[in-house]
Amino acid sequence: DAEITQSPRHKITETGRQVTLACHQTWNHNNMFWYRQDLGHGLRLIHYSYGVHDTNKGEVSDGYSVSRSNTEDLPLTLESAASSQTSVYFCASSDTGVVNTEAFFGQGTRLTVV
Amino acid sequence: QKEVEQNSGPLSVPEGAIASLNCTYSDRVSQSFFWYRQYSGKSPELIMSIYSNGDKEDGRFTAQLNKASQYVSLLIRDSQPSDSATYLCAVNRAAGIQGAQKLVFGQGTRLTINP
Kindly report, residue by residue over B15-74, the tens digit of the pLDDT: 999 999 999 999 888 788 999 999 999 999 999 999 899 999 999 999 999 999 999 999
Q: Which of A4, A20, A7 is nearest to A85 (CA)?
A: A20
Residue A52's Cβ-count burial label (10 Å; 0-12, 13-18, 19+) is exposed
Please tell me the predicted confidence (pLDDT) of residue B95.
Answer: 64
Model confidence band, residue B98 (pLDDT cutoffs 50, 70, 90): low
Give the residue, A61 or B99, on which the prediction is more confident: A61
What average pLDDT score do residues A67-76 get?
97
- CA separation (Å) from A50 to A38, B4, B90? 25, 21, 18
CA-CA distance, A62 to A58, in Å (whole number)?
9
Return the residue of A nearest to B110 by Cα: A40
Pairing of strands B11-14, B4-6: unpaired
Query: Residue B67: CA atoms inside 13 Å, Cβ hemisphere, count?
Result: 12
What percent of chain A has pLDDT above 90? 82
Is residue B2 over pLDDT 90? no
Q: Which of A26, A23, A27 is nearest to A48 (CA)?
A: A23
Neighbour count for residue A64 (Cβ, 10 Å): 19
Model confidence band, residue A97 (pLDDT cutoffs 50, 70, 90): low
Model confidence band, residue B13 (pLDDT cutoffs 50, 70, 90): very high
Under an 8 A CB cutoff, do A42 and B108 touch? Answer: yes
Q: CB-based contact (8 Å) between A26 and chain B? A: no
Is residue A9 over pLDDT 70? yes
**3-class SS at B81?**
helix
Is residue B100 over pLDDT 70? no
Please tell me the predicted confidence (pLDDT) of residue B92.
Answer: 85
Please tell me the predicted confidence (pLDDT) of residue A99.
Answer: 58
CA dihedral B47, A23, B106, B82 (to 10 degrees): 40
CA-CA distance, B81 to B97, in Å (whole number)?
42
- A78-87, B1-10, B23-32, B91-100 — which is least confidently predicted? B91-100
- A65-74, B38-47, B55-64, B85-94 — which is least confidently predicted? B85-94
Q: CB-based contact (8 Å) between A3 and chain B? A: no
User: Mean pLDDT for chain A?
Assistant: 93
* Residues of chain B contacting residue A105, judged by C-beta atoms under 8 Å apart: 43-45
Is residue A12 over pLDDT 80? yes
CA–CA min distance A55, chain B (Å): 12
Under an 8 A CB cutoff, do B104 and A45 touch? Answer: yes
CA-CA distance, A88 to A9, in Å (whole number)?
9
DSSP state of B99: T
What average pLDDT score do residues A48-77 get?
95
